[in-house]
A = this chain, B = another copy of it.
């Protein structure tokens, strides 16, 4: 084992994961990420990923701007253990110390999600925790995060906010959870943020419109950072009068603030 530990870099991915794009249509990564991030990413030889395939696609886009320090085929890309259903915990600690091994041997290691920042509304926090426990320095690199962009664009309270993960899928539990979050929002004038898998965007919007108070302000951001991106903020009453339609193929972020 060489002396100092390597660093664990949290590398932001773009927010266009899963968006249908014609070949060659994906924008130059310099448009979406700072050069310092691309340079660090191009230099890393060991990766831990939410998904190896999307990581290779990301690294091809990096390589088009800053040549990778080693050919893509020679990079080590290991996947995070799948999170337990509905839980925030990753698999057993043993797996994680294996993933962390390169850093313990003095090599810098990248952690990357399919979209956005790792470990925020995404897997990876357990690996970061293991890194701190092993005294591996952790460096989060700047990039787009859909929750915080949606919050900024909402015009709702940015001085007090909370994200509570996915809502329950079952209708009555979901309704109860929405009412509970609205009560929290009212008590602390706290903006509540939530996300859903895109094909359930419409169902979540319908549930919010059914269960929130008419005067609660609801904001829906769709396709953040994409050319088609929009944000609408209106009272629940105004949404009910003209609900519009949500695309089922691109991610949305929902935010509300009780009056």
Q: Which residues of A contact B (CB under 8 A)?
A: 10, 15, 27-28, 30-36, 88, 117-122, 124-132, 137-140, 142-145, 147-165, 188-190, 219, 221, 224-225, 229-234
Contacts and interface: CB of A to CB of B under 8 A. Distances in A.
Given A88-B189, A138-B153, A224-B140, A124 B158 contact: yes
Q: Within the oligomer, what is the number of copies of this chain?
A: 2
A152 B117 contact: yes
A158 B232 CA distance: 26
Contact of A139 (B119, B153, B190, B219): B153
A190 B88 CA distance: 11
Nearest to A86: B159
A165 B160 contact: yes
Contacts of A129: 155-156, 233
A133 to B, nearest CB: 9
A122 to B, nearest CB: 7
A151 B148 CA distance: 12
A230 B130 CA distance: 16
Nearest to A27: B36
A190 B145 CA distance: 19
8 contacts: A15-B142, A34-B34, A128-B154, A140-B221, A148-B148, A159-B163, A159-B165, A162-B162
Contacts of A31: 34-36
Nearest to A135: B232
